[in-house]
A and B are shown apart, each in its own frame.
Chain A
Amino acid sequence: MQDNQKPNISSTADLRQEVAQLMVECLNLEVTADQISPDAPLYGDGLGLDSIDVLEVALVLSKRYGLQLRSDSADNQHIFSSLRSLADYIATHKTL
């Protein structure tokens, strides 16, 4: 399945809330799901996630939504840039 063959679907506020909640639980974050701003960076100065977190979150997301993240897909750099972009990616690619 090629990424570029799927039309991008925007995520709903409900899906973003659910993804934020999964991240908070998976990583024991200090914030609550509704404190994660949809457009703030997840890496670095934003939520402060690093590569270990990304691997853990990807595993939880793969189980919940039936998708496998791959670092060679063209939009990989973009996927974890914010909660909104992550949730948009899930909305487009989920199979569960």
Chain B
Amino acid sequence: MPSLPLVSHNSPDSIIAWRADGAVTLQQFLSEVSQLAALFPAGRHLLNMCSDRYRFSVGLAAAIVAGKISLLPSTYAPEVVRQIKTFAPDVFCLTDSDLCTVDLPRLRYPVMNDGPQDELAIPQIKATQHIAVVFTSGSTGTPQPHPKTWGALVGSVQAEAQRLGLGLLHNCTLIGTVPPQHMYGFESTVLMAWHSGCALNHAQPFYPADICRALAAVPAPRVLVSSPLHLRTLLAAGLLLPEITQVVSATAPLSAQLAQEIETRCNTQLIEIYGSTETGQIATRHPTQSCAWQLFPGIKLAIEGDCVRACGGHIETPIAMSDTIEPVTDKLFLLHGRIADLVNIGGKRHSLASLDHLLNNIPGVADGAFYMPDETSADHVTRLAACVVAPGMDASNLLAALREHIDPVFLPRPLLLVDALPRNSTGKLPRAALQALFQTCT
């Protein structure tokens, strides 16, 4: 059975990460991985909530080495944590925050011993080992698990690193604005650093000034791994940016205008990545050169009626994609927005049917439906709305109930209380009727 190394760095002195206190060598990283693995409880599943990307990476590596599975849900809403516990009753939480209140057995990220260590060998991990389970919202309110094997994940980030040309950059550092617990951040800021010889930066910058500081804190060459939301606000802030060698964006396609502005202002190349939680990344494009997406080597799109399935390459079983895809050649395709049931808000995806299901399950709700208004601008976030029939309840009760189940970005604004929904004679709720109701009420 083939094995793949934990990381592709090979010299004990290779830099694998940058923390606030400076560079972390491969040797120090492996020592901390083994120190953390020794503290793990018996449970086979962990929820790695570390917000510091370096600590997340040590937690992930320690879990892999110890044969444990990292669970990556899309949100830590209380009901989702309960569902995770049902999925894996032995789950424990690894946290680097004293403020963590998640209702699971907790392991606090320890203070590491950084004294001299014996030279440690790079662990070899079986390609078939399940190292993570990533969850999507599902269509019935129960998170759907998607297991990931080590071999598939490594294959996908190796293809990404090659597409980005990272092999040609020496001692490059990846600076991410996306969390390592999100599939995109998981692949592009952690696993890709491990398998391209790059270092990852520990920070999780949020405001434009944070991003500038995180960039300035590490030497060039720098790769900024980000999203349309962060890139747009970063440019709009008008701050002086340190030299950036490459910008990577994913979670939603950028407008051609913003893509061009980023390349001009950063004097660099911007590459976008396309993928999904289920498949991981499957394609890239250079939006200022072409609007077509180029599939990773070995990945194919199979069309059956309206359904496009991705298969081959690192994808273990064919996956129906949730976007409207138009193949151009066997290696290129165009994206034409999402399939109606799926909403994507700031990179978080949820099924509308599932949101409706959760809404209608709230005690006191007689009828209710979420509504996604048409997007007004490609680079701005459009929010959901909802119309609800719930006599005797007010919007704040309903929002509090929803907050138990879903990430706050999906909370409807506005939440309109109405006397009835405009259902037709068959009980269906046409989007046009919902849109008309929404427009009358706002």
CB-CB < 8 A to A29: which residues of B?
413
* Chain A 66-83 per-residue mask, 1 if CB under 8 angstroms from chain B, else 0: 001111100000000000
Does B411 sit within 8 A of A, measured CB to CB?
A: yes
Q: Is B219 an interface residue (CB 8 A)?
A: no
A50 to chain B, nearest CB (A): 4
**Which listed residue, B207, B396, B413, touches A58 by the CB 8 Å rule?**
B207
CB within 8 A of B210: which of A44, A50, A51, A72? Answer: A72
A13-26 contact mask (Cβ, 8 Å, vs B): 1 or 0 = 00000000000000
Given contacts A48-B399, A52-B229, A52-B409, contact A68 B237 (CB under 8 A): yes
Our pick among B237, B408, B409, B413 for the contact of A30 (Cβ within 8 Å) is: B413
- Chain B CB within 8 A of A9 CB: no
* With contact pairs A45-B400, A59-B237, A68-B239 given, residues A52 and B346 touching in the complex (Cβ less than 8 Å): yes
Q: Which residues of B contact A (CB under 8 A)?
A: 205-210, 213, 229-230, 233, 236-237, 239, 345-346, 381, 396, 399-400, 403, 408-409, 411, 413-414
A71 engages B413 (CB within 8 Å): no
Are A71's CB and B408's CB within 8 A? no
Do B400 and A71 touch across chains, with their CB atoms under 8 A apart? no
Are A48 and B229 closer than 8 Å at their CB atoms? Answer: no
Give the residues in chain B near A56, CB-CB below 8 Å.
233
Chain A interface size, as a band, is 10 to 19
A44 and B233 contact, CB distance less than 8 A: no
Which residues of A are found within 8 Å of B411, using beta-carbon distances? 48, 50
Expressed in whole angstroms, the Cα–Cα distance for A71 and B236 within the complex equals 18
Chain A residues with CB under 8 Å of chain B are: 29-30, 44-45, 48, 50-52, 55-56, 58-59, 62, 68-72
Known contacts A45-B400, A55-B230, A59-B237; A71/B409 CB under 8 A: no
A-B contact pairs, 5 of them (CB 8 A): A48-B399, A52-B229, A58-B233, A68-B237, A72-B213
Contact B239 A55 (CB under 8 A): no
CA–CA, A56 to B239, complex, Å?
A: 16
A43 to chain B, nearest CB (A): 8
User: What residues of A have a CB within 8 angstroms of the CB of B210 in the complex?
Assistant: 70-72
> Do the beta carbons of B400 and A48 come within 8 Å of each other?
no
CA A71 to CA B408, docked complex, whole Å: 20
Q: Would you call B413 and A48 a contact (CB within 8 A)? A: yes
The contact of A59 among B205, B208, B399, B403, by CB within 8 Å, is B208
In the assembled complex, which residues on chain A have CB atoms less than 8 Å from the CB atom of B408?
Answer: 44, 48, 50
* Complex Cα–Cα for A68 and B238 (A): 11
| Minimum-distance CB pairs A-B, first 9 | A68-B209, A50-B408, A71-B206, A52-B346, A70-B209, A69-B207, A30-B414, A59-B233, A71-B210
Min CB distance A28 to B, Å, is 8
Residues of A within 8 A of B409 (CB): 50-52
Most buried by B among A45, A55, A56: A55
A30-B414, A48-B413, A71-B210 are known contacts. Are A55 and B237 too (CB-CB below 8 A)? no
Whether the Cβ atoms of A70 and B207 lie closer than 8 Å is: yes
The smallest C-beta distance from A54 to any residue of chain B, in angstroms, reads 8
Residue numbers in B under 8 Å from A30 (CB-CB)? 413-414
A55 to chain B: which residues have CB within 8 Å?
Answer: 206-207, 229-230, 233
What residues on A are CB-neighbors of B400 within 8 Å?
A: 45
Taking A50-B409, A58-B233 as given, write out 10 further A-B residue pairs in contact, using a Cβ cutoff of 8 Å, ordered by the A residue number: A44-B403, A50-B408, A52-B381, A55-B207, A59-B208, A68-B208, A68-B209, A68-B239, A70-B209, A71-B206
**A68 vs B229: C-alpha distance when bound (angstroms):** 17
